[in-house]
Chains A and B, each alone.
Chain A
Amino acid sequence: MSEPLSRIPGGMRYYFGAEARLRRFVEDAAMTVFDGWSYEEITTPTVDYYALFEHGMGRREARRAFRFTDADGSMLALRPDVTSAVARAAATLFAARPRPLRLCYAASVFRQRPQSHAQWRREQAQTGCELIGSNADAADVEMLVIACEALNRLGLAGQYSITLGNVEIFNGVVEGLALSQPLREEMRRLVDLRDGADLERFLAPYASAEERGAFARLVQLPGKRSVLTAARPVITNPRARAALARIERLWRVIEALDLADHFEIDLGDVSGLDYYTGPTFKIYVRGAGGSVGGGGRYDLLTANFGRAEPAIGFVLDLDALTDVLLTDNEGSAATAFEPELTARALTGDDQAALFTQALGGRARGARVRLNFSEAEQ
C-alpha cells in the first residue's frame, strides 16, 4: 500500500501568510541588532560531520540529531546547532584574524528527538551571535544588552525576564563535596527539578542541617540582589565563590544600566553543565511555555579544534518568538503582515498600460497586485 503524498513528517510544517512575514520580521530585527553591534553574518553547512556536533554539543545533545552516512561511510548529521561549526571556523578559517571575533547567524537547526513534549518542531529557526576570544566581564555584558535590545525591538519590553546563572557555582560545590560522577548527576537532577526537600536529604551526609537548608533554598528560587546576599555565607568553595563574584560584578553593571527589572539571578540553573563553563543566561517571555533563548560562556569548545580560547554566545528561538507575537497582538501584528490589505489592486485589458502603471507604483515602493482577465487568447 502506498502512503498518501498529502502527509507531512512529524515535527515539520509550512509557514505562510502573516506568520511567514512575521517570522521574517523577527529574524530581520534580530540580525539588524547584531549588525548594529558589529557582528558579521556567517552561514554554516546544513550537513556536517556528526563528530563535529558530538564534540561541539556533547554526546547527549548530539544524539538528538538526524544522522545518516556519507558515500565513504562517515557519519553525517543535519546540523542540530550552529555554534559548533562557528567555533570550528574561528579556530581554523579565522585563526589569523584579530580577536575578539564577532559572528552572527540565522539558520534552521534540526533535531530528530525534541527535548520536551511541548517542543513539537523538529526544524527550528534560530538566530544567534558568538563573541570569541574574550574573557572580559564586558563581553558578558555585551551579550546581555544585545539580547535586551533585540527583545525591545520586537516590542517585548517589559514582558521578558532574563535569568542569570553560572555553572561554576554547581561545579565548585560538587568539587568541594568530592562527589563521584553518579552522585554528581543525582545532585544535578535534584537541583534542576528544584526539589528542595530531596536535595536536603541528599546533602545530609555532607553538611549540617542549617547549611543544607540554606543551600536548598538558594538554588530553589530566582531573585534579585537578595540572592547574592543570601549566597555569600552559604557558598564557601573558592571556585564557586569566584563564580558568584562574577555574577555580582555583572549584576552591578545591570543595576547601573537600569536594567535590573529585566533580570533575575537563578543559581539553580544547571541545564547546560556539559557545555557551558561560566556565566549562563536564559530568556523567558510572557506567553511562551518555555525559554525563548539563552546562552553562556563556553571556553572549552574551540579547544576541540586545536585552539583554546574563551567564548560566549546566545541564541534566540525565532519560532517561539513568532508564536508569542502572533498570539500576543493578533490584531496589530497580523494586520501589519497581511499583504492583501495594503496592496494597490490594478486592473486593465491593455497590458502595456497596466504594466506601466504597475512599474510606476513599484518605482515609488508601493505594493501592487495585478488582477488579470482570463478571457483573452
Chain B
Amino acid sequence: MTKLTLAVAKGRLQAQTLELLAGAGVRIAREAGTSRRLSVEDEAGRYRLIFVKPMDVPVYVEHGIADCGVVGRDVLLEAEPDLLQPLALNIGGCRIALAAPVGAPRRADRMRRVATKYPRIAARHFGARGVPVEIIELSGSVELAPVLGLADCIVDVVETGRTLQENGLRVVEVIAESTARLVVNRASYQLKAATVARLIADLGGVGR
C-alpha cells in the first residue's frame, strides 16, 4: 500500500486532529504526539504525519510534498489554494467575524481601518459591500489593535468570544463559519486513489 504524507495544522487544531485520526485508525506513539519532532510515522507505518503552521498546510499539500492535510476553513478562505476538499470534519468549529470596540458604531461602512491576520478575507468582505478600507496585516494579538488605536475594527477567528470580551470588543458581523477540512493534492488524489479513498472513508466514519 502506498504511504501517505499528511500535514497537520499545529496549535488550536492539533490535539483534536490527532484524536480524530486515532479514531480513524491512524495512531501515533504517545511520546511522538508531545515531542518536538515535526515529522512522525503512524504505528501501522501507513502514514507520515508532518506538523506545520496552519497557513503552511495548504502550501505543503499544493506542492504535493504532503498528499493530504487537515486545516481550518478559515485558512482555505484566506489562501484560496488549488486543492480538493473532499471532507468537512466536525472539529475546530469557529467563526470568522468582524469585531469592533463596544460602543463603536454598528454600521460596517463606518469602519475605516481593519487589522487582521486574514487580509484577503477582509478585502473580499468589504469589497463585496463596496466599502473602501485600509487593511493592516498583523500576525498575532489582533485584538490589541483597536484598543491602542491602530485600527477601528478587526477581522479574526472567534471561538468562545472570551478574548474579544476581555479586550472590550464585540462581534459586529459574522463573515463565515469555519470547521476543519480534509484537503488533498490533485495529483495524489489520482495517483494514490485507493489509499486516499480509504482515508476519506475512515475519517468520514468518525466525523459524523
Which residues of A does B touch, CB under 8 Å?
115-118, 161, 163, 192-198, 220-223, 264, 266, 282, 284-286, 288-291
Residue B17 CB within 8 A of the other chain: no
Residue B193 at the chain A interface, CB threshold 8 Å: yes
Contact B187 A195 (CB under 8 A): no
CA distance A273 to B187 in the complex (A): 19
CB proximity of A186 to chain B, nearest CB, Å: 14
* Total number of B residues with any Cβ neighbor in A under 8 Å: 24
Contact of A193 with B82 in the complex, beta carbons under 8 Å: no
Residues A118 and B190 in contact in the complex (CB < 8 Å), given A197-B87, A197-B88, A289-B62:
no
Q: Considering only CB atoms, which chain B residue lies closest to A162 in the complex? A: B190
**Pairwise interchain contact B191-A161, C-beta atoms closer than 8 A:** yes
B197 touches A117 (CB 8 A): no
Point out the residues of chain B lying under 8 angstroms from A194, CB to CB: 84-86, 184, 189
CB-CB contacts of B63-91 with A at 8 A, as 1s and 0s?
11100000000000001011011111000
B116 at the interface (CB under 8 A from A): no
Which residue on A lies nearest to B79, using beta carbons? A117
**Interface hits, B140-197 → A, CB 8 Å:** 184-187, 189-191, 193, 197
B59 is an interface residue with CB less than 8 A from chain A: yes
Q: Name the A residues within 8 Å of B59 (CB-CB).
A: 117
Are B190 and A163 in contact, CB atoms less than 8 angstroms apart? yes
The residue that B64 contacts in the complex, of A192, A196, A264, A288, with Cβ under 8 A, is A288
Task: Judge whether A195 and B88 touch: CB under 8 Å.
Answer: yes
Q: Is B101 an interface residue (CB 8 A)?
A: no
Does B119 make an interface contact (CB < 8 A)? no
CB distance A193 to B84 under 8 Å? Answer: yes
Q: Contact at A161–B190, with CB atoms within 8 Å?
A: yes
Please report the C-alpha to C-alpha distance between residue A60 and residue B200 in the assembled complex, in whole angstroms: 32
Cross-chain contact A290 with B64 (CB below 8 angstroms): yes
* 3 nearest CB pairs, A to B: A289-B64, A116-B82, A194-B86
Closest Cβ–Cβ distance, residue B22 to chain A (whole Å)? 22
State whether the Cβ of B54 lies closer than 8 Å to any Cβ in chain A: no
Asked, given contacts A264-B190, A289-B185, whether A196 binds B86 with beta carbons under 8 Å apart, the answer is: yes
Instruction: Knowing A116-B62, A117-B59, A289-B185 are in contact, say whether A266-B190 is a contact too (CB < 8 A).
Output: yes
| Contact residue among B62, B191, B197 (Cβ-Cβ distance under 8 Å from A221) | B197
8 Å CB contacts to A: which residues of B81-117? Answer: 81-82, 84-88
User: 17 other contacts beyond A161-B190, A221-B197, A284-B190, with CB at 8 A cut-off?
Assistant: A116-B62, A117-B58, A193-B84, A193-B85, A194-B184, A195-B86, A195-B88, A196-B86, A198-B88, A220-B200, A222-B193, A264-B190, A266-B190, A286-B191, A289-B187, A290-B186, A290-B187
- Tell whether, in the assembled complex, residue B82 and residue A221 are in contact, meaning their CB atoms are under 8 Å apart: no
B208 (CB) vs chain A CBs: closest residue: A197
Q: Known contacts A116-B81, A116-B82, A197-B88; decide if A289 and B190 are in contact (CB<8 Å).
A: no
Q: Shortest distance in angstroms between A114's beta carbon and chain B's nearest beta carbon? A: 9
A325 to chain B, nearest CB (A): 16
Q: Which chain A residues border B86 with CB–CB below 8 Å?
A: 193-196, 220
The distance in angstroms between the C-alpha atoms of A264 and B194, with both chains bound, is 12
Which of A117, A196, A221, A222 is in CB contact (< 8 Å) with B81? A117
Residues of A within 8 A of B79 (CB): 117
Identify the closest chain B residue to A282 (Cβ): B190
Least CB distance, A266 to chain B, in whole angstroms: 7
Q: Tell me the minimal C-beta distance from B188 to chain A in angstroms.
A: 8
**What are some 20 contacts across the A-B interface (CB < 8 A)?**
A117-B63, A117-B81, A118-B62, A118-B63, A194-B189, A195-B86, A196-B86, A197-B87, A220-B86, A221-B193, A221-B197, A223-B193, A266-B190, A284-B190, A284-B191, A288-B64, A288-B187, A289-B65, A290-B64, A290-B187
Complex Cα spacing A185 to B58, Å:
23
Q: State the CA gap A290–B187 with chains docked (Å).
A: 5
Q: Enumerate chain A residues within 8 angstroms of B87, measured Cβ to Cβ.
A: 195-197
Q: Is the beta-carbon distance between A117 and B82 smaller than 8 angstroms?
A: yes
> Is the beta-carbon distance between B85 and A289 smaller than 8 angstroms?
no
| Residue of B63, B184, B191, B197 ringed by the most chain A CB atoms within 10 A | B191
A195 to chain B, nearest CB (A): 5
Q: How far is the CB of A285 from chain B (nearest CB, A)?
A: 8
Whole-angstrom distance between the alpha carbons of A108 and B184 in the complex?
Answer: 29
What is the bound-complex CA distance between A194 and B86, given in angstroms?
5
State in angstroms the CA–CA spacing of A221 and B193 once bound together: 7
Instruction: Tell me which residues across on chain A come within 8 A of B189, comparing CB atoms.
Output: 194, 222
Give the Cβ gap from B67 to chain A, nearest Cβ, in Å: 10
A291–B84 Cα distance when bound, in Å, is 13
Cα A286 to Cα B187 in complex, Å, equals 8
Question: What residues of chain B lie closer than 8 Å to A266, measured between beta carbons?
Answer: 190
State whether A222 and B85 are in contact (beta carbons under 8 Å apart), knowing that A117-B79, A118-B64, A289-B62 are contacts in the complex: no
- Among B88, B187, B189, B193: residue with most chain A CB under 10 A: B187
